[in-house]
């Protein structure tokens, strides 16, 4: 059929062949006929031929060469899909002769315009490397080139190639480190996993450990403390305490969103990254995400539980809040059950042990006997670890001795033995009880354990011990080897302590042992006989026989099997297997001294460099925005939220100062003329400038003139900047400085834009058409991210950047509620309100207010609505929809919007129910009227300077803050 002229016949034939391949049948004799069709016009036939080729080319190398020319031609095809697939198949044909052709193709493809082809080139690198490792040097060159690639499509694949070909060439990463960190969010999920693992290794070689000192301390605060003596020693050359390298911080921050990924592998990768490289105080966030993964498939659960088990040994606190998530269900597969049990044991402490023991009791009764046995072991371990409950556990275990199931009893015996060994106190009763059990138990380990116990404590149970020995002597020949050995031991011990009663019995047993089939037992018999039975040849040793046999034995340690796994990187195959897998790359220890961080610097646009205060901020920021648009967009909200979090903590004082500003216009003049001297006014002035910010951007034309002024006042205002930032330093953090510098760059670009905007629209640096709509509406909360636009921007991927003073939303929202209506005065209806600090959905000038209504009566309250409003002029309220009825004890939260006209005037209105009306007031604190806006230091200064020119604040509401 393959010879047929008709495509459909050929296709049919190819489908059958593929079917054969899939079933594992050999179809290699058809090779010549199939290869001919490689040039077929029909895409599906072509694809199937490719499938065939890749499968059999290795076996039929000569014939496979026939097809090469087709691929070479296809490599030049204008269609990127065809180029890519040609490269894919060409590199998949494992024929050593074509190595040079492949090399050439890869080199060409790595410079291809299409990122898809470049991605395939990255894959081809690995294939070529596995075919011919001699090409390594050349391939590294290609990898180096591809690592510089800025497309998210390529990043994952090339890092994979890097890991495969030259994982030790860490120097190739330096220049691309920041880029990779920033691209990470946008890379496809599989690439993310690979990159995160690689960056973990990288970070361990390049940064100093964040763990060494006081873990509890928030490390970004550390900047601001005077160095401790200890720390001084460690970071000697720096003469200051540990500061996290900004790049280190960058990695940790950029991976955080990925914890929310739907892909379990990504979540696990981020978790291990946090575990291995983040400061201990920050690793806490991973536990929630890992626990979430437990809802997933059985296999995912298995791996995740293993990793949690390892983590929970070292740091109990991490998973303690999730204790109940590890409770076992009867439907879990056994391996999951045992792992959960393991984790529960690790998490057990004085506080939760009683709950856990109750839970264990249920498990012991499980139908899954293997699991029940594991539970008993677990109880034993808990008992040894937590001394308070040892007795309770022991009693519980003794109760289990009367269990009907033999496995359970046997396991209990073994565990009790271990427990008793640890507690040399009197437990005669238990031992007697166990001695009785010997009649019924058949499991060898348990029998052996009982015998050992009796032997060990034979002086405490003088009556029954000989009796037990007598019984055992009777059944000696039928016992398991393990038991026989213990019988011999028991006999010896009894002989030494109570030779009168047991002499004959011992002799008898020793005789039996002498002719046993097992050489171990014969050996032991001989040894014991020589040692204890006095005869003329007996050496000096027999004098010490008693000491030898009845010495105090050290108690065994009950340890977790996951104890030693932590030397493997979490989330790796090696960790799962607890052996080193092929190709496992050791995670190096932290370096004592950080290698030069400047190797990661990239010389791109260094515009904003001179503005960065104190040289701490990251120099690569200007470059960042050229990489990925969506990243950039996220960054901006990130950075502004950073600054916001700070503002939350100091909102009190800020509120004051801004209040001043709105009333006190004279301070504005001050700020211009004498700002370097008056400390108080500096703050006010600063604030004012921020407030003015919005009005500024509205009349953007004026901006240009003003910016000159601002530049001139730059020097002095920067000093203000620093002094004021010092004064607020409590919550200031390093990341903030970073974010600040990012803002710097952003604003810098904004300025460029604003400078050029009126002049020429077609300047190539930025696509202005894209910008215009974005940059104007500073105050509009939602449309700031006009979605279609973002889609466009995302498409542009590389070269665009936006420069909006972006309105951001706060990370920190105080949960403080204010009383709107007290339940006493509201006849049982209570109302509280609080400001969620979110953009109001009812209108952009409105402040959103959430009102929680509670019904404290025992009747329904019907028809709650807002009645008459008494508002100052200009104020508006968007009311909530009437609530039909509120159940007794019920509560409901509604949101409404109030336009306070940027004043702190009170909004009064009536809150009505079916029967009553109550007058209520909302008076907003100033802080709640402000809209957080991110802006750079530079821009801020500019605004500040501009303030002097304007005497009227058109809209003081939209203030923003920087430091």
Partner 1 sequence: MIHSLFLINSSGDIFLEKHWKSVVSRSVCDYFFEAQERATEAENVPPVIPTPHHYLLSVYRHKIFFVAVIQTEVPPLFVIEFLHRVVDTFQDYFGVCSEPVIKDNVVVVYEVLEEMLDNGFPLATESNILKELIKPPTILRTVVNTITGSTNVGDQLPTGQLSVVPWRRTGVKYTNNEAYFDVIEEIDAIIDKSGSTITAEIQGVIDSCVKLTGMPDLTLSFMNPRLLDDVSFHPCVRFKRWESERILSFIPPDGNFRLLSYHVSAQNLVAIPVYVKHNISFRDSSSLGRFEITVGPKQTMGKTIEGVIVTSQMPKGVLNMSLTPSQGTHTFDPVTKMLSWDVGKINPQKLPSLKGTVSLQAGASKPDENPTINLQFKIQQLAISGLKVNRLDMYGEKYKPFKGIKYMTKAGKFQVRT
- Judged by CB under 8 A, the chain residues 656 through 715 that form the site for partner 1 are none
* Separation between Cα atoms, residue 109 and residue 145, nearest integer Å: 12
* Separation between Cα atoms, residue 764 and residue 762, nearest integer Å: 6
92 touching partner 1, by CB under 8 A: yes
* Closest approach of partner 1 to the CB of residue 925, in Å: 21
* Separation between Cα atoms, residue 386 and residue 347, nearest integer Å: 11
- Asked if residue 489 lies in contact with residue 451, where contact means CB atoms within 8 angstroms, the answer is yes
How many Cα neighbours within 13 Å face the side chain of 423? 19
* Closest approach of partner 1 to the CB of residue 44, in Å: 3
Nearer to partner 1, 505 or 896 (CB): 896
Rounded to 5 degrees, what are φ and ψ at 895? -120, 145
* Terminal Cα-to-Cα distance of the chain (whole angstroms): 77
320 touching partner 1, by CB under 8 A: no
Among the listed residues 4, 69, 79, 442, the single contact to partner 1 using CB under 8 A: 79
- Asked if residue 932 lies in contact with residue 644, where contact means CB atoms within 8 angstroms, the answer is yes
* Separation between Cα atoms, residue 86 and residue 684, nearest integer Å: 67
* Separation between Cα atoms, residue 50 and residue 67, nearest integer Å: 10
Interface with partner 1 in residues 803-822 (CB under 8 A):
808-811
Residue ranges of alpha helices (H) inside 732-786 are 734-756, 768-775
* Separation between Cα atoms, residue 709 and residue 671, nearest integer Å: 14
Burial zone of 868 (CB within 10 Å; 0-12 exposed, 13-18 middle, 19+ buried): exposed
Among the listed residues 557, 593, 841, 862, the single contact to partner 1 using CB under 8 A: 841
- # binding residues, partner 1 (CB under 8 A): 125
Which residues, including other chains, have CB under 8 Å from residue 858's CB and lie 6 or more apart? Answer: 888
* Closest approach of partner 1 to the CB of residue 639, in Å: 10
Interface with partner 1 in residues 332-371 (CB under 8 A):
333-335, 359, 362, 365-367
Beta bridge mates, 897: 848, 878
* Separation between Cα atoms, residue 448 and residue 438, nearest integer Å: 10
633 touching partner 1, by CB under 8 A: yes
127 touching partner 1, by CB under 8 A: yes
863 touching partner 1, by CB under 8 A: no
Nearer to partner 1, 20 or 512 (CB): 20
Nearer to partner 1, 228 or 406 (CB): 406
Stretch that binds partner 1, among 399-407, 510-518, 530-538, 953-961 (CB under 8 A): 399-407
Nearer to partner 1, 287 or 710 (CB): 287
Which residues, including other chains, have CB under 8 Å from residue 677's CB and lie 6 or more apart? Answer: none
DSSP code of 915?
Answer: S
Total Cβ atoms within 10 A of residue 293: 20
81 touching partner 1, by CB under 8 A: yes
Stretch that binds partner 1, among 119-127, 464-472, 495-503, 879-887 (CB under 8 A): 119-127
* Closest approach of partner 1 to the CB of residue 160, in Å: 6
Among the listed residues 268, 356, 920, 945, the single contact to partner 1 using CB under 8 A: 268
Strand, coil or helix: 136 = helix
Altogether, the residues listed in the chain come to a count of: 963
- Asked if residue 252 lies in contact with residue 274, where contact means CB atoms within 8 angstroms, the answer is yes
Nearer to partner 1, 229 or 439 (CB): 439
Distances (CA, A) of 72 to 66, 109, 744: 11, 12, 50
How many Cα neighbours within 13 Å face the side chain of 905? 16
130 touching partner 1, by CB under 8 A: yes
Closest CA to 490 of 418, 538, 550, 439: 550
891 touching partner 1, by CB under 8 A: no
Nearer to partner 1, 258 or 920 (CB): 258
Rounded to 5 degrees, what are φ and ψ at 883? -95, 125
112 touching partner 1, by CB under 8 A: no
255 touching partner 1, by CB under 8 A: no
- Asked if residue 948 lies in contact with residue 669, where contact means CB atoms within 8 angstroms, the answer is yes
637 touching partner 1, by CB under 8 A: yes
Stretch that binds partner 1, among 398-406, 475-483, 714-722, 922-930 (CB under 8 A): 398-406
399 touching partner 1, by CB under 8 A: no
Nearer to partner 1, 325 or 904 (CB): 325
557 touching partner 1, by CB under 8 A: no
Nearer to partner 1, 672 or 792 (CB): 792
* Closest approach of partner 1 to the CB of residue 227, in Å: 34
Structure tokens given for 127: 């294939």
Nearer to partner 1, 502 or 808 (CB): 808
Nearer to partner 1, 401 or 953 (CB): 401
Closest CA to 176 of 624, 617, 594, 600: 600
- Asked if residue 435 lies in contact with residue 454, where contact means CB atoms within 8 angstroms, the answer is yes
Stretch that binds partner 1, among 73-81, 221-229, 454-462, 663-671 (CB under 8 A): 73-81
Among the listed residues 123, 249, 600, 942, the single contact to partner 1 using CB under 8 A: 123
- Asked if residue 482 lies in contact with residue 518, where contact means CB atoms within 8 angstroms, the answer is no
* Closest approach of partner 1 to the CB of residue 97, in Å: 16
Among the listed residues 237, 297, 598, 677, the single contact to partner 1 using CB under 8 A: 297
| ∠ CA 431-432-433, rounded to 5° | 90
Among the listed residues 8, 354, 499, 511, the single contact to partner 1 using CB under 8 A: 8
* Separation between Cα atoms, residue 704 and residue 696, nearest integer Å: 11
Among the listed residues 2, 74, 84, 155, the single contact to partner 1 using CB under 8 A: 84
Nearer to partner 1, 292 or 470 (CB): 292
* Separation between Cα atoms, residue 549 and residue 155, nearest integer Å: 67
Stretch that binds partner 1, among 494-502, 590-598, 681-689, 794-802 (CB under 8 A): 794-802
Q: Which string of b and e fits 428-447 if b means at least 16 CB within 10 Å?
A: eebbeebbebbeebebbbbb
**Site map (CB under 8 A) of partner 1, residues 17-56, x = contact:** -xx-xxxx-----------------xxxx-xx-xx---x-
188 touching partner 1, by CB under 8 A: yes
* Separation between Cα atoms, residue 705 and residue 130, nearest integer Å: 63
* Closest approach of partner 1 to the CB of residue 469, in Å: 31
Among the listed residues 584, 590, 626, 812, the single contact to partner 1 using CB under 8 A: 584
Nearer to partner 1, 620 or 638 (CB): 638
Q: Which string of b and e fits 753-787 if b means at least 16 CB within 10 Å?
A: bbebbeeeeeeeebbbebbeebbebbbebeebeee
Nearer to partner 1, 163 or 659 (CB): 163
288 touching partner 1, by CB under 8 A: yes
Stretch that binds partner 1, among 190-198, 424-432, 667-675, 950-958 (CB under 8 A): 190-198
Total Cβ atoms within 10 A of residue 354: 12
Interface with partner 1 in residues 429-468 (CB under 8 A):
none
* Closest approach of partner 1 to the CB of residue 407, in Å: 12
User: Rg (Cα) of the chain, in Å, rounded?
Assistant: 38
Among the listed residues 223, 352, 576, 709, the single contact to partner 1 using CB under 8 A: 576
* Closest approach of partner 1 to the CB of residue 792, in Å: 9
Nearer to partner 1, 502 or 628 (CB): 628
Helix (H) or strand (E) holding 152: helix 152-165
Stretch that binds partner 1, among 61-69, 486-494, 625-633, 675-683 (CB under 8 A): 625-633
**Site map (CB under 8 A) of partner 1, residues 748-787, x = contact:** -------------------------------------xxx
132 touching partner 1, by CB under 8 A: no
């Amino acid at each position: 059929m393959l010879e047929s002229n008709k495509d459909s016949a050929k296709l049919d034939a190819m489908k059958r062949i593929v079917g054969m391949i899939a079933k594992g049948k050999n179809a290699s004799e058809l090779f010549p006929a199939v290869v001919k069709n490689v040039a077929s016009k029909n895409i599906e036939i072509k694809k199937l031929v490719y499938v065939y080729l890749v499968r059999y080319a290795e076996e039929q190398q000569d014939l496979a060469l026939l097809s090469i020319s087709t691929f070479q031609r296809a490599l030049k095809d204008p269609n990127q899909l065809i180029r890519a697939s040609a490269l894919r198949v060409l590199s998949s044909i494992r024929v050593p002769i074509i190595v040079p052709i492949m090399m050439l193709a890869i080199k060409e493809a790595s410079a291809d315009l299409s990122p898809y082809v470049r991605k395939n080139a990255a894959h081809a690198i690995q294939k070529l490397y596995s075919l011919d490792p001699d090409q390594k040097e050349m391939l590294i060159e290609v990898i180096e080139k591809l690592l510089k690639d800025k497309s998210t499509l390529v990043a994952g694949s090339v890092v994979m190639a890097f890991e495969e070909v030259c994982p030790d060439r860490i120097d190739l990463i330096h220049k691309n480190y920041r880029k990779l960190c920033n691209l990470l969010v946008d890379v496809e999920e599989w690439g993310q996993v690979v990159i995160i693992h690689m960056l973990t290794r990288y970070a361990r070689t390049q940064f100093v450990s964040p763990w060494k000192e006081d873990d509890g301390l928030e490390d970004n605060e550390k900047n601001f403390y005077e160095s401790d003596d200890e720390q001084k020693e460690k970071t000697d050359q720096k003469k200051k305490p540990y500061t996290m390298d900004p790049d280190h911080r960058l990695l940790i921050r950029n991976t955080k969103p990925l914890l929310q990924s739907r892909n379990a592998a990504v979540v696990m990768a981020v978790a291990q990254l946090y575990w291995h490289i983040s400061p201990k105080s920050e690793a806490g966030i991973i536990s929630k995400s890992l626990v979430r993964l437990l809802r997933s498939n059985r296999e995912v659960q298995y791996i995740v539980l293993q990793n949690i088990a390892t983590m929970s040994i070292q740091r109990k606190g991490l998973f303690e809040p999730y204790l109940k998530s590890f409770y076992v269900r009867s439907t879990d597969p056994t391996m999951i059950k045992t792992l959960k049990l393991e984790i529960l044991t690790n998490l057990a402490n004085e506080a939760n042990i009683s709950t856990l023991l109750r839970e264990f009791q249920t498990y012991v009764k499980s139908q899954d006997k293997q699991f029940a046995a594991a539970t008993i072991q677990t109880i034993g371990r808990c008992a040894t670890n937590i001394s308070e409950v040892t007795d309770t556990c022991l009693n519980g275990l003794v109760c289990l001795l009367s269990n009907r199931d033999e496995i359970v009893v046997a396991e209990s015996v073994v565990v009790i033995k271990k427990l008793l060994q640890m507690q040399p106190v009197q437990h005669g009763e238990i031992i007697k009880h166990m001695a009785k059990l010997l009649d019924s138990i058949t499991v060898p380990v348990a029998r052996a354990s009982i015998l050992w116990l009796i032997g060990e404590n034979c002086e405490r149970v003088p009556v029954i011990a000989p009796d037990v020995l007598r019984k055992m002597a009777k059944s000696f020949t039928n016992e398991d080897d393990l038991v026989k050995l213990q019988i011999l031991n028991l006999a010896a011990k009894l002989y030494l302590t109570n030779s009168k009663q047991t002499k004959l019995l011992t002799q008898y047993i020793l005789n039996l042992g002498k002719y046993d089939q097992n050489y171990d037992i014969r050996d032991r018999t001989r040894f014991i006989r020589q040692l204890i039975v006095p005869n003329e040849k007996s050496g000096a040793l027999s004098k010490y026989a008693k000491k030898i046999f009845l010495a105090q034995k050290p108690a065994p340690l009950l340890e977790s099997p996951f104890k030693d796994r932590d030397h493997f990187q979490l989330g790796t195959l090696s960790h799962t297997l607890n052996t080193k897998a092929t190709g496992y790359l050791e995670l190096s220890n932290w370096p004592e001294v950080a290698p030069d961080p400047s190797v990661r610097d990239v010389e791109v646009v260094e515009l904003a460099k001179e503005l960065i205060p104190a040289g701490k901020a990251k120099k690569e920021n200007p470059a960042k925005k050229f990489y990925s648009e969506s990243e950039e967009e996220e960054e901006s909200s990130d950075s502004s939220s950073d600054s916001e979090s700070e503002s939350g903590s100091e909102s009190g004082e800020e509120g004051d100062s801004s209040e001043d500003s709105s009333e006190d216009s004279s301070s504005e003049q001050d700020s211009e003329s004498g700002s370097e001297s008056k400390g108080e006014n500096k703050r006010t002035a600063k604030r004012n400038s921020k407030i003015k910010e919005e009005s500024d951007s509205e009349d953007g034309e004026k901006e240009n003139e003003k910016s000159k002024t601002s530049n001139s006042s730059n020097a002095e205002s920067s000093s203000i900047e620093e002094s004021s930032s010092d004064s607020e330093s409590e919550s200031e953090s390093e990341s903030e400085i970073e974010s600040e510098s990012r803002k710097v760059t952003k604003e810098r670009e904004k300025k460029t834009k604003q400078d050029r905007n009126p002049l020429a629209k077609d300047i190539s640096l930025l696509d202005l058409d894209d910008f215009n709509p974005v940059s104007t509406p500073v105050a509009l909360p939602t449309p700031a991210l006009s979605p279609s636009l973002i889609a466009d921007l995302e498409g542009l991927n590389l070269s665009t950047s936006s420069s909006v003073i972006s309105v951001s939303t706060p990370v920190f929202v105080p949960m403080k509620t204010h009383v709107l209506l007290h339940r006493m005065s509201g006849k049982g209806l209570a109302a509280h309100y609080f400001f969620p600090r979110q953009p109001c959905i009812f209108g952009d000038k409105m402040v959103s207010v959430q009102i929680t209504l509670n019904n404290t009566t025992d009747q329904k309250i019907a028809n709650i609505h807002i009645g008459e409003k008494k508002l100052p002029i200009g104020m508006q309220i968007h009311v909530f929809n009437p609530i039909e009825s509120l159940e007794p004890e019920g509560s409901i939260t509604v949101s409404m919007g109030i336009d306070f006209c940027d004043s702190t005037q009170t909004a009064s209105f009536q809150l009505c129910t079916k029967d009553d009306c109550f007058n209520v007031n909302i008076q907003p604190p100033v802080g709640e009227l402000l809209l957080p806006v991110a802006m750079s230091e530079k821009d801020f200064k500019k605004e500040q300077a501009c303030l002097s020119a304007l005497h009227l604040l058109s809209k003081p509401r939209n203030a923003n803050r920087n430091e």
